[in-house]
Amino acid sequence: MKTLKKRRRIQVIVLAAVALALSTALIGYAMRDGINFFRSPSQVIAEPPQPTEVFRIGGLVEEGSIVRGQGETVRFVVTDGGESVQVAFTGVLPDLFSENQGMIGTGSYVNGVFEATEILSKHDETYMPKEVMDALKEQGVYKGDEQS
């Protein structure tokens, strides 16, 4: 009787260990492309992603670049000071979206245009995502206070 209980416990422990290893492998596989929070326009131009790859791009909306098309389509240029990428977005932009402001967009890069499915913008006068600020500082174009 005791050997049956021991065998059952060992089976449960082995099954739990296999399930834990499998779930860890699946989580790692799912996150392989999502570790990087966003790419700057310079990174997108240097290494263009596949048209099927969904990623985030971040930077500043270039002044004078917002063009509202027919319907809900809006086109604008996002820059990090070094390179610029055309962005097309169909939908309603956030209320605080404007020129010379930080933004992060989710979408894919197709034929030289970033086709965004989601646009996030800053939420007050002093906020800019840390990753965008760091990328702009690297390019030497960040014009805010130097405090983090």
Q: What is the pLDDT of residues 76-134, one digit of tens each?
A: 999 988 899 999 999 888 888 888 888 999 999 999 999 999 998 865 555 666 777 77
Assess whether 65 and 114 both reside in one domain.
Answer: yes
Would you say the pTM of this structure is higher than 0.95?
A: no
Tokens read off for 64: 């004078």
Assess whether 28 and 63 both reside in one domain.
Answer: no
In a domain, 70, yes or no: yes
| H helix or E strand, kind and range, residue 28 | helix 2-30
pLDDT of residue 34: 59
Assess whether 95 and 69 both reside in one domain.
Answer: yes
3 state DSSP class of 123: coil
Assess whether 52 and 119 both reside in one domain.
Answer: yes
Q: How far apart, in whole angstroms, are the C-alpha atoms of residue 89 and residue 49? A: 18
In a domain, 146, yes or no: no
In a domain, 144, yes or no: no
pLDDT of residue 148: 42
Helices (H), 31-148: 41-46, 130-139
pLDDT of residue 147: 46
Assess whether 15 and 49 both reside in one domain.
Answer: no
Q: How far is CA 119 from CA 26, 55, 114, 125, 136, in A?
A: 29, 12, 12, 18, 19
Q: How far apart, in whole angstroms, are the C-alpha atoms of residue 141 and residue 106? A: 23
**DSSP conformation class of 76:** E
